Amino acid sequence: MLQPLSKLIPNFLQKKRKGVGIELTPNQINVAQMENTDRGYQLNFLVSKEVPEGIYSDGQITDPPTLADLIRENLEENNINATTVATAVPMRDAILNIIPVPAELSEEELEDVVLHQEAGLYLPYPLEEVDLDYQKLGYFTDEDGIEKVQVLLIATRREVTDTYLDIFEQQVGLKMDALEINTLSLIRTIREQLRQYPSQEAVVLADIEFDNTELAIIVDGVPEFNRTIPIGTYQLQSALSRAMNLPPSRNADHLQDITLPVSYEKAKEETTPLNPGMDALQRGLSELTDEVRRSVDYYLNQTEGVEVVQMLLAGPGAGIGELDTFFNQRLNIPTTQIDPVDALSLESNDEISASQRPSFGTVFGLALKEI
């Protein structure tokens, strides 16, 4: 079952412990362990293992036994002894909605209203086919002067949660302490960065993953809008490879070695044209920014009194050099690539390159969940 969001924020007063987070993606397994020391967060290890083609299809796990073997191998090869873990499902496999309910309800009444009455109005699936959780966010007075409380409703299809439970608990032999949404894990990692923005300012978080981009518009640390855009590193890498007559690659490292021209418009005007690969890559990124713009415009048209003031880029695709400048120029929104090592003031004995750091925001958030 999904964990209450109240448990997503680490308690700095609780007993110190080590936490292991495992992030599953269609092309990679990331494993991180942290502990909370007197000096702050310490990263004890961060390891990754490639996931070959055929284990996922259209973003869904289709070969759980082989994926479980890869998780087990990754732990054994790196001498990682873990009994419990936190992991996450992709945002596209989840539903998040903010719903208003009467403020005078008791906790028992609130649970009944949210999970058994209101939830069915927001879900495309029957209630018996989903796992649900909720968290109270804050109180407000509606236009009729009635005090209400906003509740974040979280839902995943039960077949998805059952797949993760089977992989980790039945096949790998790990107790799954938490199964949450990858975007919420990522938000935990950058929570201090998000706290600098007041309630009338929204932050757009674009998590550029393997075969999609998870987009969330965040206000007061809460994702008020989310959308999955079917453009990720695989689509970008494939466009580049086709243009250069190279075989396709599932590895995002090739993209992270690329630096975009500082000004795309200026580059197009230069006498020396862009090479075909760079041109194809930038066309793909232009399609992505166009989709982001549509989403932001839709959100703003549905929301009053909120201004989008910042865009944050995460995921393996965010490691492309000068991608923040590209987004800024295309969208006219101040843009930065997240640095989870810096965001957490994380101490580590291993050097993590600047281009790789945006890839690990989610797995760090999962490790934090376990601390």
First-to-final CA distance of the chain:
19
- Residue 280 is inside which H or E element, if any? helix 276-302
137 and 232: one domain? no
312 and 199: one domain? yes
Own/partner pairs, 255-259, CB within 8 angstroms, 24+ separation: 255/281, 255/316, 255/317, 255/319, 255/320, 256/316, 256/319, 256/320, 256/321, 256/355, 256/356, 257/355, 258/320, 258/321, 259/320, 259/321, 259/322
Beta partners for residue 156, in sequence order = 94, 131
Closest CA to 288 of 223, 219, 227: 227
Residue for token pair 């362990």:
33
233 and 310: one domain? yes
Q: What is the pLDDT of residues 238-284, one digit of tens each?
A: 999 999 898 877 887 888 889 998 765 555 555 456 689 899 999 99
Name the CA dihedral angle for 291, 295, 297, 302, rounded to a multiple of 10 degrees: 160
Q: Which residue has the higher pLDDT, 91 or 252?
A: 91
Whole domain around residue 144: which residue ranges? 94-156
254 and 304: one domain? yes
Q: Average pLDDT over the chain, rounded to whole?
A: 89
Q: What is the pLDDT of residues 123-147, one digit of tens each?
A: 888 989 999 998 888 888 888 888 9
Q: Supply the pLDDT for residue 47.
A: 96
293 and 209: one domain? yes
Residue for token pair 């674009």:
206
Instruction: Say if 81 falls within a structural domain.
Output: no
Write the CATH number for 274: 3.30.420.40
Q: What is the pLDDT of residues 280-328, one digit of tens each?
A: 999 999 999 999 999 999 999 999 899 999 999 999 999 999 999 999 9
Closest CA to 87 of 339, 346, 370: 370
- Structural domain count, the chain: 2
Q: What number is the average pLDDT over the span 20-31? A: 96
357: left (phi over 0), alpha (psi -120 to 50) or beta: alpha
Q: How many helices (H) and strands (E) does the chain have?
A: 13, 16
Token representation of residue 224: 């008020």
Residue that terminates a domain, selected from 156, 178, 206: 156
Q: Which residues in the chain belong to E strands, given as ranges?
A: 18-24, 28-37, 40-50, 56-57, 60-61, 84-89, 94-102, 130-141, 147-157, 175-181, 201-208, 213-219, 222-229, 307-314, 335-337, 347-348
Q: Supply the pLDDT for residue 266.
A: 54
Q: Supply the pLDDT for residue 94.
A: 92
131 and 248: one domain? no
Say yes or no to pLDDT of 104 above 70: yes
Compute CA 147 distance to the chain's CA centroid, rounded to the nearest angstrom: 33
Which pTM does this prediction carry?
0.90
Question: Around 205, how many Cα atoms within 13 Å sit in the side-chain half-sphere?
Answer: 33
* Of 3-7, 146-150, 173-177, 355-359, the least confident: 3-7
Length of the chain, please? Answer: 371
305: left (phi over 0), alpha (psi -120 to 50) or beta: left
Total Cβ atoms within 10 A of residue 45: 16
152 and 205: one domain? no
